[in-house]
Amino acid sequence: MAPENVELVQRMLDHFYNGEAEQALECFSPDVEIDLRRRVDAGRGRGREELARLIGEWVSSFADWREEINEVRDLGDQVLVEATQRGRGRESGVELESRYSTVYDVRDGAIWRITLYPDAAEARD
């Protein structure tokens, strides 16, 4: 068990939801690995700036985006977060609701890898 890893991820999420992007990014390693390939718009990269760009592009594609955390699970050096996001497409006006999972790998007090999964069971594996 690594409760400090859960606390780190929770602190990062709190900053993110409060609009404190810089503080949220400070929870990540400067060379964080980003794997969003399983998401519909796909993406992969490295570094805080790239993470901010990828997440910013996703969130800004909605006129009304919000997210609810369903579960946070301590996996030792990893933290699994299951969430539901909702929103309305900025261009299409289409309402979206999707559940997905994110695995945060933590090392030396920082998140060094983030991997998104559209399927919670796949993330748990």
36-87 residue pLDDT tens:
877 666 678 999 999 999 888 888 888 888 999 999 999 999 999 999 999 9
CA 31 to chain centre: 16
Q: What is the pLDDT of residue 98?
A: 87
3-state secondary structure of 43: coil
Q: What is the pLDDT of residue 22?
A: 96
CB 35 within 8 A of CB 15: no
Instruction: Tell me the CATH number for domain 3-124.
Output: 3.10.450.50
Task: Between 57 and 31, name the one with better pLDDT.
Answer: 31
CA distance 93 to 20: 27
CB 10 within 8 A of CB 16: no
| Percentage of the chain lying above the pLDDT 70 cut | 96
Q: Mean pLDDT, the chain, as a whole number?
A: 90
CA distance 61 to 59: 5
89 beta partners = 62
The residue written with tokens 């933290």 in the block is: 79
Q: How confident is the model at residue 14 (pLDDT cuts 50, 70, 90)?
A: very high
3-state secondary structure of 89: strand
CA distances from 51 to 2, 43, 71 (A): 24, 10, 22
CA distance 9 to 93: 32
Q: What is the pLDDT of residue 60?
A: 87
